[in-house]
Chains A and B, each alone.
Chain A
Amino acid sequence: MMSNMTNPTMISDSHAHTQEPALKMEGVSIYYGSTPAIREVYLDIPPHQITAFIGPSGCGKSTVLRCFNRTNDLIPGAQVKGNVFFHGVNLYSKKIDPVEVRRRIGMVFQKPNPFPKSIYENIAFGARINGYQGNMDQLVENSLRKAAIWDEVKDKLKESGLSLSGGQQQRLCIARAIAIQPEVILMDEPCSALDPISTLRIEELMQELKAQYTIVIVTHNMQQASRVSDKTAFFNAEATEQGGKLGYLVEYNDTVNIFTNPKQEYTRDYVSGRFG
């Protein structure tokens, strides 16, 4: 129902905007309790591309990202208004089971959070619970290979996932997300706890993964956004009368344009580091 593999324009990367979006936000506002955190976001995420969310701290990038797989549902008091479409299906309609949404749209968190289980179990856990019928050993190996960590862990699959270094743990978490074969992977500052080498490995990894997955990444690192992403969304927050901050989407375009020829002044200031 949600496959778009027949779309012929998919081959061409440069004409991404002609494709049907994988994810689409229509007038999405998000509230924590009665306080609005994000207002009226309209956004199309093209399939098989990397979309980066940038913006100052607290402007609501994570909040927006969490809408895509309905993890905001897990936060008491969080409310999403507006529509989020996944291949044309409204994720927030009553018929949709958030558990299935999260199976199809995976997520990698800012802080690596491997389960305190063996490396093997970390990967197998999600697959088993979702009733994967294939060869589990094979799936574990493939996922670890795709996440570029197989060589480092293949001799110690029985050891705890927490025995790995931070960078390895993050790749393990990526492998874990891949293992349930989602269509989209959301990454919330996946490299913020990592050293430059691990960061580079994960960036390379994202380039390889985008052939199969749609990736949305939140990052504070401008170079990272410009290096890896195809499209960039710049969020900002404005002060509200109540003294809070309300996030909104300032500009959304191909990454090249955002960084070399931004239309909004805010964007220009932010990407050039003159923000304040």
Chain B
Amino acid sequence: MKSHPSPLARSQDAQMWQPKRNLSKWSEQLVKYIFAAFALISVATTLGIVFTLIFETFEFFREVPIFRFLTETQWTPLFTNAKFGIWVLVSATFMTSVIALFVALPVGLLAAICLSEYASPRVRQWLKPTLEILAGVPTVVYGYFALLFITPILQTFIPGLKTFNGLSAGLVMGIAILPFVASLSEDAIYAVPQSLRQGSYALGTTKRETITGVVLPAALSGIVASFVLAVARAVGETMIVTIAAGSNPTLTFDPRVPVQTMTAFIVQVSLGDTPATSLAFKTIFAVGMMLFLMTFVLNIFSFWFVRRFQEKYE
């Protein structure tokens, strides 16, 4: 007999139904706590990172006034006459990212539409996994692809293109993040219920009108999410720009010359032999903080955008 007889009257064939749940109260609780613990680990890690960032950034700004950080036009923290103009790095990150997004967003979205709406099931069945494999290629490969393959090609018709340059790095970075955009947008577009498409066709609309008028607005949140991820990846992308764009901090929007992005700078310092207590070392946290803020603002913006414009179908 069970230790806790149910207050409900016993049903007819009671012996036939003996759920083995003697320990269930315990195990249910235990499972709950285990999951909570794992959730906590991820939250704690994130918080830890943010706190380290904030703390070290604070340390940095005790030595370098934030005014200098925001107004100087040179970035030479490793020199004796150190200059800390963050915009030098931001401009490079901005430029390479914009170039990358010009490739990744339109091509990615069009590829997603094509895959989801126009491709035959067979083609889709092959292309989708291929895309996902492409997304898994290590970025260091893309970096050397840019440096050793794309740059020489570009040099044949762009005069003044240096060996290290923002253009080639940006273009290849666009190719590298394109699969993410395509795959995630495709998921979002494909998930739009067939009944909405039918409803639209039944009103005498063409395929194009149905896609632009009904399917894309309904998939907007997923598409924007994929765009935001693309931007975040472009801004945070490290290997490609380190390898192909150079390590030459210059305040410029000329895509033909070497530049140094924020991430490339962080790599440079952490790979070098800068002592961990030095000011130069603390700069990487300040730069990291800047990166963090940029992605954070972007996320908030996209959150607002989606809330404002999405046509929720559920």
**A interface residues (Cβ-Cβ under 8 A, vs B):** 69, 71, 74, 76, 99-104, 106-107, 109, 111, 113-117, 125-126, 129-130, 160, 162, 173, 176-177, 180
Question: A160 contacts B312, CB within 8 Å?
Answer: yes
Across the two chains, which residue of chain B brings its CB closest to A161? B311
Q: Known contacts A71-B202, A102-B202, A115-B200; decide if A109 and B195 are in contact (CB<8 Å).
A: yes
Question: B204 contacts A177, CB within 8 Å?
Answer: no
Question: B201 contacts A74, CB within 8 Å?
Answer: yes
Within the assembled complex, what's the spacing in Å between the Cα atoms of A126 and B204? 7
Contact of B199 among A76, A99, A109, A160 (CB under 8 A): A109
- B217 at the binding interface (Cβ < 8 Å): yes
User: A126 to chain B: which residues have CB within 8 Å?
Assistant: 200, 203-205
Question: B312 contacts A180, CB within 8 Å?
Answer: no
- Min distance, Cβ B90 to any Cβ of chain A, angstroms: 38
B residues 193-220 in Cβ contact with A at 8 Å? 193, 195-206, 209, 213-214, 217-218
Q: Known contacts A117-B217, A160-B312, A162-B313; decide if A129 and B202 are in contact (CB<8 Å).
A: no
Within the assembled complex, what's the spacing in Å between the Cα atoms of A74 and B203? 14
User: A116 to chain B: which residues have CB within 8 Å?
Assistant: 196, 217-218, 311-313
User: A101 to chain B: which residues have CB within 8 Å?
Assistant: 204
Question: A99 contacts B204, CB within 8 Å?
Answer: yes
- List the count of A-B residue pairs having beta carbons below 8 Å apart: 75
- How many B residues are at the interface, by size bracket? 20 to 34
Question: Which interface residue of B206, B217, B311 has the most chain A CB atoms within 10 A?
Answer: B311
Across the two chains, which residue of chain A brings its CB closest to B195? A113
Contact of A100 among B198, B204, B218 (CB under 8 A): B204
User: A107 to chain B: which residues have CB within 8 Å?
Assistant: 202
User: A102 to chain B: which residues have CB within 8 Å?
Assistant: 201-204
Contact of B311 among A69, A115, A130 (CB under 8 A): A115
Within the assembled complex, what's the spacing in Å between the Cα atoms of A173 and B196? 11
Within the assembled complex, what's the spacing in Å between the Cα atoms of A116 and B199? 11
Contact of B198 among A76, A113, A125, A160 (CB under 8 A): A113
User: B202 to chain A: which residues have CB within 8 Å?
Assistant: 69, 71, 102, 106-107, 109, 177
Contact of A71 among B121, B193, B201, B209 (CB under 8 A): B201
Q: Known contacts A113-B195, A115-B214; decide if A162 and B204 are in contact (CB<8 Å).
A: no
Question: B200 contacts A74, CB within 8 Å?
Answer: no
Question: B199 contacts A103, CB within 8 Å?
Answer: no
Question: B198 contacts A74, CB within 8 Å?
Answer: yes
- Min distance, Cβ A270 to any Cβ of chain B, angstroms: 29
Within the assembled complex, what's the spacing in Å between the Cα atoms of A135 and B100? 45
Sample 29 A-B pairs with CB under 8 A, ordered by A number. A71-B198, A71-B201, A74-B198, A74-B201, A99-B206, A100-B204, A102-B201, A102-B204, A104-B204, A106-B202, A106-B203, A109-B202, A111-B195, A113-B193, A113-B196, A115-B200, A115-B214, A115-B311, A116-B196, A116-B312, A125-B203, A126-B204, A129-B204, A129-B209, A130-B205, A160-B311, A160-B312, A162-B313, A180-B204
User: B121 to chain A: which residues have CB within 8 Å?
Assistant: 76
Within the assembled complex, what's the spacing in Å between the Cα atoms of A106 and B201? 10
Question: A117 contacts B204, CB within 8 Å?
Answer: no
B residues 58-82 in Cβ contact with A at 8 Å? none
User: B199 to chain A: which residues have CB within 8 Å?
Assistant: 109, 113-115, 173, 176
Within the assembled complex, what's the spacing in Å between the Cα atoms of A176 and B214? 14
Question: B196 contacts A109, CB within 8 Å?
Answer: no
User: A109 to chain B: which residues have CB within 8 Å?
Assistant: 195, 198-199, 202
Within the assembled complex, what's the spacing in Å between the Cα atoms of A103 and B195? 17
B residues 156-212 in Cβ contact with A at 8 Å? 193, 195-206, 209
- Min distance, Cβ B209 to any Cβ of chain A, angstroms: 5
User: A129 to chain B: which residues have CB within 8 Å?
Assistant: 203-205, 209, 213
Within the assembled complex, what's the spacing in Å between the Cα atoms of A107 and B203? 8
Within the assembled complex, what's the spacing in Å between the Cα atoms of A180 and B199? 13
Within the assembled complex, what's the spacing in Å between the Cα atoms of A69 and B205? 12
Within the assembled complex, what's the spacing in Å between the Cα atoms of A114 and B197? 11
Q: Known contacts A116-B313, A160-B312; decide if A103 and B204 are in contact (CB<8 Å).
A: yes
